[in-house]
Structure 1
Amino acid sequence: MMNPKTLRIVFMGTPEFAVPSLRRLVAEGYNVVGAVTVPDKPAGRGRHLRESDVKIAARELGVPVLQPEKFRDPAFLDALQALQPDLGIVIAFKMLPEVVWAMPRLGTFNLHASLLPEYRGAAPINWAIINGERETGITTFLLNHEIDKGAILAQERVAIAPEDNVGTLYERLMLLGAELVTATVDRIAAGDCTPAEQMHFDESRLHPAPKIFKEDCRINWRQPGERIVNLVRGLSPYPAAWTPIFKKGEPSDTAKIFAVHFEPGGVVQRPGTVETDKRTYLAVACADGRIVVDELQIAGKRRMSARDLLPGMRDLSDYSFGEEAAEA
């Protein structure tokens, strides 16, 4: 049995999701001897160099930072070896070569925002909501040669509430993840952490979580209302579901949709047809009812509620959402 606070930990990550775990490790006295993150990158209109969230936090916490251009760079590997790591921790980072993840004497584990083996991939929180799941979670697992397929160390289950979107669920999983990371370190140090291999699962029955592209975010108004609601929730606030807007059958604009609810049944119009009282109510027909739009952003305008938008759009009877109604 080892003292977990004496283990020499190298922390590897980039975005905000990794930061609470790094902060908690340092705050609770774990020995984080270095942080590995991506090089600074130009961002914004001025193309000023932007530091990763992990680098900003590590510098604030007094943790030395390594920013390799290439993981197999001998200079980086020498610097990493000089830290004499006992354990590596990876959260929201690039795929690492074996020469990096196998260097710590106790190996390297990753925190993933799903109940592995479900939702392996880059966007597990988004896809769990898009697919209408009522439960997800977080997992720590040992890195190996395949993405998200290493032996599982620990898991925590989290309910997905009907009102959750990717933003609210991300926040909960991020904070709970920090707790699971420290608990996993403690269990490894205590020697009571038995890795569970993922090899026995039927791959064809699992839900993947690939990177999300713009076309994945496009609303198909021919779909049932519940599926559209889940798509909006699973992409809000970022990258956001979107739809083209047509005026008298011709392309007019696009809109990002951030919050909706579903009214089933009634007289079902052609999918994409706009229904409104021109004051407070903006709805779009779908396969089995109507999607009431609560919050949206027309391209080039600010994000706003439908109530705020409607007074400035007096000719809404000329509009339709998506190509579904425009093709009629």
Structure 2
Amino acid sequence: MRIVFAGTPAPAVPSLHALAASAHEIVGVVTRSDAPLGRKRVLTPSPVAQAAAELGLPVIKADRLDADATAAIGALQPDLGVIVAYGGLVREVLLSMPRYGWINLHFSLLPRWRGAAPVQHALIAGDRTTGASVFQLVPALDAGDVFAELRYDVPRGATAGQVLETLADLGARLVTDVVDDIATGAARAVPQRGEPTLAPKLTLADGALDLGASAEVVLDRFRGTTPEPGAHLAIDGQRLKVLDAFRGPDTVDGGAVPAPGEFALAGRDVVVGTGAGTVLLKTVQPAGRAAMAAADWWRGRRGETPRAELPGEPR
């Protein structure tokens, strides 16, 4: 089949490579425009654009699938559209332009976690099993019939970035198998079953760790917001980014229990109290500084014991 592929970030690249190595022809790759990255804000092609260039595939850069993008895709005469984390909506007339429409690789077990950040929301909610689904794209958000899915047990301590990287690799084979089945006429899709939950794009505020909750809830949010948008604590009115954290001991200093938001040393490790238990901070990044071991950050405060702000507290 003649395939148009739409995707933007790194998790879409394995699917692009898998389809490029298949028996099908990728006639075009749609991705978002170059974006400013780094401190110098250098315009940089998306990971999918870079992969397409390496594969020698024609690229259409578009932030919205508007009339111009639709015309460019139509000129390619695709049989099927495949979308993986493109970052934009596919509307009519483009939706029904390919002979077999569009399919979408989505990183959740639909209908759970429809939306832009399914892996992040799954981890924040404490889901211990997630997965990936390939479904027929329809006008409603992530609501189409499902061709295939895979289940994945989340390893203890895994962050959203790590889970997404694994699902991207596993999902590449899943989507390629569905494309093969569509080509042979063997593909069968079934309606989604169950109560939908939503996974909207996360903001910086979603990374704030509520130390009034239990240590497990705090760590679920840490893992779900790492690496993006980034987990953090508020100390002295500034953000302390938390880059690496684990479950800490229940008590420190021979039985003391730090109150929520209070820091203490457990041996050489820095821990912070929560509503139940402690969280051990391994790597942090103070505002305007480079990442460092939490113990080095502690020593740099020269005896001044920090305290993290709790939600709703006056500054």
Same fold (TM over 0.5): yes
CA distance in 2, matches of 1:316, 1:122: 41
Distance in 2 (alpha carbons) for counterparts of 1:327 and 1:68: 44
What's the CA shift string for 1:60-102, capped at 9, x where partnerless? 11111112455232x4333322211111100111111121121
Deviation of the 1:128 alpha carbon = 1.0
Which residue pairs with 1:24 in the alignment?
18
CA contact (8 A) 2:31 2:63 kept: no
Please tell me the residue identity of whatever aligns with 2:69: F
Which residue does 1:268 correspond to in 2? 257
1:49: how far off?
Answer: 2.8
Q: 1:150 aligns with which of 144, 150, 154?
A: 144
TM-aligned CA distance change 1:327 to 1:151, over 3 Å: same
Corresponding residue SS for 1:302: coil
Distance 2:172 2:295 in 1: 39
What's the CA shift for 1:126? 0.8
Q: Which residue of 2 aligns with 1:225?
A: 215
CA distance in 1, matches of 2:312, 2:257: 13
Judge conservation of contact 1:125–1:234 (CA < 8 Å) in 2: yes
Distance 1:104 1:315 in 2: 66
> For 1:307 and 1:133, how far apart are their aligned partners in 2?
31
How many Å separate the matches in 1 of 2:98 and 2:214? 50
TM-score by length of 1: 0.88
Moved more, 167-176 or 40-49: 40-49
Partner of 2:309: 322
> What SS is found at the alignment partner of 2:297?
helix
Q: Determine the C-alpha separation between the residues in 2 that align with 1:288 and 1:48.
A: 44
Q: Which letter does structure 2 place at the counterpart of 1:268?
A: V
Q: Which amino acid aligns with 1:273?
A: E
AA in 1 matched with 2:250: P
1:186 equivalent in alignment to 2:180 = yes
**Is the Cα contact below 8 Å between 1:283 and 1:292 reproduced in 2?**
yes
The answer for unaligned runs of 5 or more in structure 2 is: none
More helix by share: 1
Query: In the superposition, relative to structure 1, how do residues 269 and 190 fare at CA in structure 2: closer, same or farther (>3 Å)?
Result: same
Residues 68 and 210 from structure 1, CA distance in 2 versus in 1: closer, same or farther, beyond 3 angstroms? closer
Of residues 116-125 and 25-34 in structure 1, the stretch that sits farther from structure 2 once superposed is 25-34
Equivalent residues of 2:206, 2:225 under 8 A apart: no
Q: State which drifts further: 23-32 or 86-95.
A: 23-32
Q: Closer, same or farther in 2 for the Cα pair 1:325/1:264, shift >3 Å? A: farther
**TM-superposed deviation, 1:138:** 0.5
Gaps of 5+ in 1: 1-6
Answer yes or no: is 1:133 the counterpart of 2:122: no
> 1:102-113 counterparts in 2 under 5 A?
102-113=96-107
Cα distance in 2 between the residues matched to 1:67 and 1:326: 46
Work out the CA distance in 2 between the residues paired with 1:81 and 1:300: 48
Distance between the aligned counterparts of 2:73 and 2:279, measured in 1?
53
Separation in structure 2 between the aligned mates of residue 285 and residue 42 of structure 1, nearest angstrom: 38
The equivalent position to 1:77 in structure 2, one of 63, 70, 74, is 70
The secondary structure found in structure 2 opposite 1:320 is: coil
8 Å contact from structure 1 (residues 87, 106) kept in 2? yes
Deviations for 1:214-245, whole angstroms, at most 9, x for unmatched residues? Answer: 22111111111110011111112222211111
How far apart in 1 are the matches of 2:270 and 2:190? 50
Instruction: Tell me, in whole angstroms, the C-alpha distance in 1 between the residues paired with 2:29 and 2:210.
Output: 43
Cα offset, 1:269, TM superposition = 3.5
CA distance in 1, matches of 2:70, 2:160: 36
Q: Tell me what 2:113 maps to.
A: 119
- Is the 1:14–1:52 Cα contact (8 Å) retained in structure 2? yes
Give 1:259's match in structure 2, choosing from 215, 229, 244.
244
Aligned to 1:97: 91
1:275 Cα offset (Å): 1.0
Alignment of 1:271-282 (within 5 A): 271-276=260-265, 280-282=268-270
> Normalising by structure 2, what TM-score?
0.91
Deviations 1:15-37 (A, max 9, x none): 11111111121123421111111
8 Å contact from structure 1 (residues 89, 110) kept in 2: yes
Which amino acid in structure 1 is aligned with residue 152 of structure 2?
Answer: V
Counterpart-to-counterpart distance in 2, 1:261 and 1:108: 41
Preserved contact between residue 15 and residue 52 of structure 1 (Cα < 8 Å): yes
2:242 maps to a residue whose letter is I
Aligned alpha-carbon RMSD (Å): 2.2
Whether contact under 8 Å (1:320, 1:326) holds in the other structure is: no
The one-letter code matched in structure 2 to 1:216 is D
